Structure 1
């Protein structure tokens, strides 16, 4: 039997928890973008641009997933449905694919920021050392 019945109360509680988590994440991301963009030293401009773009991707992901889409995964199956505002206008498959378009950007920006941040720790003869014009 492939029918999974989720009670209305569980769905409502789940929706509220996801919405609260999304709002908190959005608030923290906006605060971090402000702190990184305006309160960090001017000497770290290149690294600051990478961190702001990474935090912007986190913000976009939190708004789409937690506030607008609110997916509900059905555990034993690779299936699900959504409860958010976008469910009425956008197909579930399209939202699922757009999520997997944002995730590689987040991972790539994270790796770029970590590589750029740890350049000072590498010896000058290392093959991993980037030239100052590269970033």
Structure 2
């Protein structure tokens, strides 16, 4: 699994003109799943993200996790994270897991985050989504379970 983690002041997902997921401050996650990913990958990333200290404490140092900072999570499935642009001008998405494999693992990942006490909003798996957010910092990290 590969996740783009972005510290966010606010974020939302709109599908067909309707807001389907929205948070105040917290983390905006773009979540990609590949063929070899298992529940262990989801568990590793949920643990890593819940404890990732990228929010500032009173001294201005990045010492707080999203839990410590009272933040929320907006998690959006993103198969294009496994786009391969090395050949030609059109990306190949052969590295992305098929929806029947990716969706259950993506849902399990979100439930693992919720089980840690986090509020997790999502987009709509497989839908065309308008995603907007304000990157705080900006702070952006890429975490890969491999």
* TM-score, L = length of structure 2: 0.30
The structure in which a higher percent of residues are helix is: 1
| Structure with more relative contact order (C-alpha pairs < 8 Å, separation 6 or more) | 2
* TM-score, L = length of structure 1: 0.32
The structure in which a higher percent of residues are strand is: 2
